[in-house]
């Protein structure tokens, strides 16, 4: 029998932002002392001092022409991060005409922001605000009196960044050419959800800038492909894989003024949403099979079958029993309508909601929708509600 629980490591690591700040600090020490240290103490955004090992340290030039180079290898701890072992590299030079200034640039492997909605300048490097401040703080701590005479330019680069970016959602967010420099505390916790949750929030914010007025939230890759097939005219940036973070996605949609929300999912996650869960991770809440039994009873399913469904462990079991009775579409339609009612109870009149349901092969099973709020723009005809709920023809 396969074990349900996988033992996972607990060793913490450091963010790309923290490693960038450490590399920048080490390089500035090189400017000041003429030698880049083999290790450097860096202050994290949370105020914690940490010693980082420094690689490739070197200095060149003299006077106002001197430069320095340093690199810190990211250790993500036991977190399965695609940027683990990334070489966060800092090159620094003096700016004699700009005393007191620290200017930050993105080099090779650091993504460029090409779309609004991320809180970063379009055309600038994808270095998030907290890492920016952390780099600036560490540079100023190391620069001593150097900034009284001139400024310092810091260029952060990641040699493997372009390849690493292919394993992220950066391109969807309009971040091209490399990875993002991220981190709020400087610490990476094993299997942390914080980074993914942040990407969901950013994804919805970007969707709000497309002009489409709609965000399509899906629970994963299969449901996203299904939703894209259903809505082929929407920009790709409107589709956000929210995973388990429905609450953060919907709260962000409301904050951004999005008046049309589409949720695409399968029976398991949709059941959790229907029962009122807005964080749908398996460890946070169990599937309420009693709710599914109630839906089945409403369809006239025999009591003994409803009891079996109520005693089952999974939502998929209910789906399979309904398929055997020829009630697949009716069952999933009832589920979609319950999802709409549940979410409209929480987000009353804040957006027009459409729920799309597919099976495990990505085939459409049902669709339901709320009445559009009075102030909302008319939804696209492919998803327009005919009454309180939109049923498949």
pLDDT at 377 over 60: no
Q: How many CB atoms lie within 10 A of CB 367?
A: 24
- pLDDT of the residue at 385: 38
262 is written with which tokens?
């589409």
At residue 270, φ and ψ (nearest 5 deg) are -65, -30
List, for residues 34-92, the tens digit of each pLDDT value: 999 999 999 999 899 999 999 999 999 999 999 999 999 999 887 767 899 999 999 99
Tell which residue, 148, 240, 258, has the closest CA to residue 202: 240
Strand, coil or helix: 216: strand
Over 60: is that where the pLDDT of 311 sits? yes
**In this predicted model, what pLDDT tens digit does every residue of 95-127 receive, in sequence order?**
999 999 999 999 999 999 998 877 889 999 999
Top CATH class of 13-188 equals alpha beta
Mean pLDDT of all residues in 196-224: 91
Predicted pLDDT at 3: 29
What would the 3-class secondary structure string for the chain be? CCCCCCCCCCCCEECHHHHHHHHHHHHHHHHHHCCCCCEEEEECCCCCEEEEECEEEEEECCHHHCEEEEEEECCCCCCCCCCCCCEEEEEEEEECCCCCCEEEEECCEECEECCCCCCCCCCCECECHHHHHHHHHHHHHHHCCHHHHCEEEEEEECCCHHHHHCCCCCCCCCEECEECECCCCCEECCCCCHHHHHHHHHHHHHHCCCCCCEEEEECCHHHHHHHHHHCCCCCHHHEEECCCCHHHHHHHHHHCCCCEEEEEECHHHHHHHHCCCCCCCCCCCCCCHHHHHHHHHHCCCCHHHHHHHHHCCCHHHHHHHHHHCCCHHHHHHHHHHHHHHHHHHHCCCCCEEEEEEECCCCCEEEEEECCCCCCCCCCCHHHCCCCCCCCCC
Query: What is residue 270's predicted lDDT score, i.e. its pLDDT?
Result: 95
pLDDT of 379 over the 60 cut: no
pTM (two decimals): 0.66
**pLDDT bracket for residue 190 (50, 70, 90):** low
Q: What band does 24 get if pLDDT is binned at 50, 70 and 90? A: very high
387 confidence band (pLDDT: 50, 70, 90): very low
Q: Please give the structure tokens belonging to residue 105.
A: 């640039």
Domain range list for the chain: 13-188, 193-369
Over residues 360-377, mean pLDDT: 79
> Residue 13 in 3-state DSSP?
strand
Token pair for residue 74?
Answer: 């990211």
Q: For residue 146, how far is the Cα from the chain centroid?
A: 39
């Amino acid at each position: 029998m396969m074990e349900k629980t996988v033992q996972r490591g607990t060793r913490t690591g450091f963010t790309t932002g923290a490693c960038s700040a450490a590399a920048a600090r080490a390089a500035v020490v090189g400017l000041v002392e003429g030698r880049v240290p083999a290790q450097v103490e860096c202050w994290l955004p949370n105020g914690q001092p940490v010693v980082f090992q420094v690689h490739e340290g070197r200095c060149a030039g003299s006077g106002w022409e001197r430069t320095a180079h340093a690199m810190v290898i990211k250790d993500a701890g036991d977190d399965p991060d695609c940027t683990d072992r990334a070489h966060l590299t800092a090159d620094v030079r003096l700016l004699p005409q700009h005393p007191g200034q620290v200017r930050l640039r993105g080099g090779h492997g650091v993504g460029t922001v090409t779309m609004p909605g991320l809180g970063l300048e379009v055309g600038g490097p994808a270095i998030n605000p907290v890492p920016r401040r952390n780099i600036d703080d560490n540079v100023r701590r190391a620069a001593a009196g150097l900034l009284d005479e001139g400024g310092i330019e810091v260029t952060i680069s990641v040699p493997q960044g372009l390849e690493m970016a292919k394993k992220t959602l950066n391109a969807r967010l309009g971040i091209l050419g490399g990875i993002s420099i991220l981190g709020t505390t400087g610490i990476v916790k094993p299997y942390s959800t914080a980074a993914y949750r942040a990407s969901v929030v950013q994804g919805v914010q970007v969707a709000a800038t497309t002009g489409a007025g709609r965000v399509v939230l899906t629970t994963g890759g299969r449901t996203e492909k299904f939703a894209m097939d259903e809505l082929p005219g929407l920009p790709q940036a409107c589709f956000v894989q929210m995973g388990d973070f429905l609450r953060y996605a919907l709260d962000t949609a409301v904050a951004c003024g999005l008046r049309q929300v589409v949720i695409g999912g399968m029976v398991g996650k949709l059941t959790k949403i229907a029962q009122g869960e807005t964080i749908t991770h398996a460890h946070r809440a169990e599937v309420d099979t009693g709710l599914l039994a109630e839906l089945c009873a409403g369809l006239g399913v025999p009591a003994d079958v409803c009891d079996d469904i109520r005693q089952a462990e999974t939502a998929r079991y209910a789906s399979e029993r309904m398929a055997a009775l020829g009630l697949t579409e009716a069952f999933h339609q009832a589920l979609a309508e319950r999802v709409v009612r549940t979410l409209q109870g929480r987000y009353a009149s804040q957006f027009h909601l459409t729920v799309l349901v597919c099976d495990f092969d990505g085939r459409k099973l049902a669709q339901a929708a709320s009445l559009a709020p009075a102030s909302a723009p008319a939804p696209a005809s492919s998803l327009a509600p005919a009454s309180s709920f939109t049923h498949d023809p």
